[in-house]
């Protein structure tokens, strides 16, 4: 499947096959970066376009790597699956690379495996709130600092705008059954004082988590400020497009949406603001740490060329190009002081602390399975099939059974 999707077989041995997913604009930017690399080095790169959904990307990579296929040679990995890939022995150590310029805490928790560097951060994500500045002005409102303000203003604005546009909703976010739902849930829960992992324990059935899940469900089912499609189809791109076509007042998304909202032809260009997510009483916002890391397959037949490509992508010059084009938060620390980048992305300095303090998900090889269990139960509570408390109890019970199968104590140290 991978071979035909790549459109190449053994004939590919003269080029580096790079698997990467994302919004169409991101894929175009990767094509351009790869072309620049080829011009400078003579090494050809074939981009294997994958879907934006992180779970789908992981599954397709696992198929190829489990089969020991030599392609793709290089790929991007979501921060939450680097540990699984490293533990499975699929990553070639990045010997000779200097992790110095990157965020040390990220390198230590994500990219080092048994003392060896196996990946490098290309960009870092943290959840943020986008708002329609023009609409808030029109209604004499300010950007919400608390979840209560977000709800109140959503109801007020949507009641009026729905007269002309029945599809208008106050707030869009990621509620479909996939990894993005967990990142959203952890932000709602975190701002209530809840969590999934604390002091080495994986827990879900907590009063704060329950309050958060009830609130998420109520946004859709009781207050109706989030569309019913929230739990059936809202992923990053669906939420981004909903807001971008002018049908929502607020959107929770990652920083990549900023440059797309501001792009020529976007109906919300010049009308969009960005800030930290709200919290219950205006205290510090909680944002989930996301991001994508680059690594080389242990099965690649063109490792030196693949390494050269990784070096290019993670260089100051390569990252700067992508940051300016896509509005990413770079994995390299030095770029946060680059005047050109700060001028192009004013929010980078403003939201620095949001990104710096973003909360990681558990960095364990079996995280995708923990997440799958939680996704299923949380999504079913949003759909109204099951009570929020019951969903969390069931998820916690299933996760405990999974950990026992892995021979792990229910109390699991992150990174164990």
| Residue 258 is a binding residue for ligand GLC (CB under 6 A) | no
Q: What are the residues whose beta carbons fall under 8 Å from the beta carbon of 320, sequence distance 6 or more?
A: 330, 335, 338, 340, 341
* Per-residue mark of binding to ligand GLC, 70-109 (x: CB under 6 A): --------xxx-----------------------------
The answer to whether 231 and 218 are in contact (CB under 8 A) is no
Q: What are the residues whose beta carbons fall under 8 Å from the beta carbon of 286, sequence distance 6 or more?
A: 186, 187, 190, 191, 277, 279, 359
| Residue 111 is a binding residue for ligand GLC (CB under 6 A) | no
Pick between residue 111 and residue 125 the one whose CB is nearest to ligand GLC.
125
Cα gap 398→381, rounded to integer Å? 16
Q: Read off the tokens for 20.
A: 């990467």
Q: Which of 310, 303, 373, 301 is nearest to 111 (CA)?
A: 310
Pick between residue 303 and residue 376 the one whose CB is nearest to ligand GLC.
376
Task: Report the phi/psi class of residue 45: left, alpha or beta, with left for phi > 0 and alpha for psi in -120 to 50.
Answer: beta
| Residue 290 is a binding residue for ligand GLC (CB under 6 A) | yes
| Residue 251 is a binding residue for ligand GLC (CB under 6 A) | no
Closest residue to bound ligand GLC by CB: 290
Q: Which of 154, 158, 183, 226 binds ligand GLC (CB under 6 A)?
A: 183
Which helix (DSSP H) or strand (DSSP E) does residue 83 occupy? Answer: helix 82-87
* Per-residue mark of binding to ligand GLC, 211-250 (x: CB under 6 A): -------------------------x--------------
# residues contacting ligand GLC (CB under 6 A): 13
Neighbouring-strand partners of residue 49: 20
| Residue 177 is a binding residue for ligand GLC (CB under 6 A) | no
Q: Which of 180, 190, 331, 368 binds ligand GLC (CB under 6 A)?
A: 180
Q: Which of 254, 312, 328, 367 binds ligand GLC (CB under 6 A)?
A: 254
Q: For the CB of residue 102, give the shortest distance to ligand GLC in the complex, in Å.
A: 16
| Residue 54 is a binding residue for ligand GLC (CB under 6 A) | yes
3-state class percentages of the chain: helix first, strand second, coil last, to nearest 5: 50, 15, 35
Please identify which residue in the block is written with the tokens 């070639």. 92
Pick between residue 287 and residue 305 the one whose CB is nearest to ligand GLC.
287
Residues in touch with ligand GLC (CB under 6 A): 54, 78-80, 125, 179-180, 183, 236, 254, 290-292
């Amino acid at each position: 499947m991978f071979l035909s999707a790549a459109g190449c077989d053994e004939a590919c041995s003269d080029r580096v096959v790079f698997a990467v997913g994302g919004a169409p604009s991101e894929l175009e930017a990767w094509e351009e970066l790869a072309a620049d690399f080829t011009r400078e080095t003579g090494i050809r790169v074939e981009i294997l376009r994958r879907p934006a959904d992180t779970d789908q990307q992981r599954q397709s990579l696992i198929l190829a790597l489990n089969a020991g296929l030599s392609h793709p040679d290089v790929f991007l990995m979501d921060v939450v699956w680097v540990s699984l890939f490293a533990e499975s022995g699929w990553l070639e150590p990045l010997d000779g690379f200097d992790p110095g310029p990157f965020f040390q805490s990220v390198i230590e928790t994500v990219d080092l495996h048994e003392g060896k560097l196996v990946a490098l951060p290309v960009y870092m994500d943290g959840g943020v709130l986008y708002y329609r500045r023009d609409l808030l002005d029109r209604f004499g409102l300010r950007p919400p600092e608390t979840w209560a303000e977000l709800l109140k203003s959503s109801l007020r604005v949507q009641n009026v705008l729905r007269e002309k546009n029945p599809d208008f909703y106050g707030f869009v976010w990621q509620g479909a059954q996939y990894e993005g739902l967990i990142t959203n849930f952890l932000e709602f829960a975190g701002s209530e004082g809840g969590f999934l992992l604390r002091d080495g324990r994986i827990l879900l059935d907590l009063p704060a988590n329950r309050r958060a899940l009830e609130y998420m469900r109520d946004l859709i089912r009781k207050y109706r400020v989030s569309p019913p499609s929230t739990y059936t189809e809202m992923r990053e791109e669906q939420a981004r497009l909903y807001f971008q076509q002018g049908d929502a007042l607020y959107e929770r998304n990652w920083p990549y949406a900023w440059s797309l909202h501001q792009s020529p032809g976007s109906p919300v260009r010049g009308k969009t603001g960005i800030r930290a997510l709200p919290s219950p009483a205006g205290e510090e916002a909680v944002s989930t740490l996301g991001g994508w890391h680059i690594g080389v397959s242990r099965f690649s037949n063109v490792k030196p060329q693949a390494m050269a490509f990784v070096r290019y992508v993670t260089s100051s010059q390569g990252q700067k190009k992508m940051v300016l084009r896509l509005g990413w938060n770079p994995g390299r620390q030095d770029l946060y002081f680059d005047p050109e980048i700060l001028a192009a992305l004013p929010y980078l300095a403003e939201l620095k602390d949001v990104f710096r303090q973003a909360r990681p998900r558990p960095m364990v090889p079996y995280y995708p399975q923990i997440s799958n269990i939680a996704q299923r139960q949380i999504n079913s509570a949003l759909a109204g099939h099951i009570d929020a408390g019951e969903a969390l109890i069931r998820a916690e019970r299933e996760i405990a059974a999974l950990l026992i199968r892995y021979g792990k104590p229910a109390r699991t140290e992150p990174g164990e």
